[in-house]
Amino acid sequence: MSNTCNCPTPPGGSITCNPDQLAVCGLVNGQIVSGCFDRPGHASLIADEEERKVVLTNWVLSVVSGIPREDYDPVLPEEYEALKRGEVRAPDGSVVRFTMPDDLNLTKVVTNAPYARSR
């Protein structure tokens, strides 16, 4: 079964990805973003499930917002709400929608996860 995301207008339409990919489409900084994204390989090497979810949450937020994030950046409650909605809204009103793979449930990650790493 594929992973499909219905795009906001603009750009409209939809994008269909493999079941294990993140499906994304919409506008980021006035640019159309649309694609199928593979999980970062290093996330599968993390044994602790909650720690892996923090890394994957930051990856998803980075992809859909267009703003780079570190693996262990703190995740705000409103960012978890965006994950639940499958939609990120920019201050200028533009929207990016996304659909996560079925096996990737990031909406239950602890917001104060103790995984911060020193840099």
**The pTM is what?**
0.84
Domain ranges of the chain: 3-99
**Residues facing 84 on adjacent strands:** none
- Say what the pLDDT of residue 65 is: 86
The tens-digit pLDDT sequence of the chain (119 residues) is 789 999 998 888 999 999 999 999 998 777 888 999 999 999 999 999 889 989 999 999 999 988 899 999 999 999 989 999 999 988 778 899 999 987 787 766 545 444 444 33
Question: Can you tell me the distance from the alpha carbon of 109 to that of 119, in angstroms, rounded to the nearest whole number?
Answer: 23
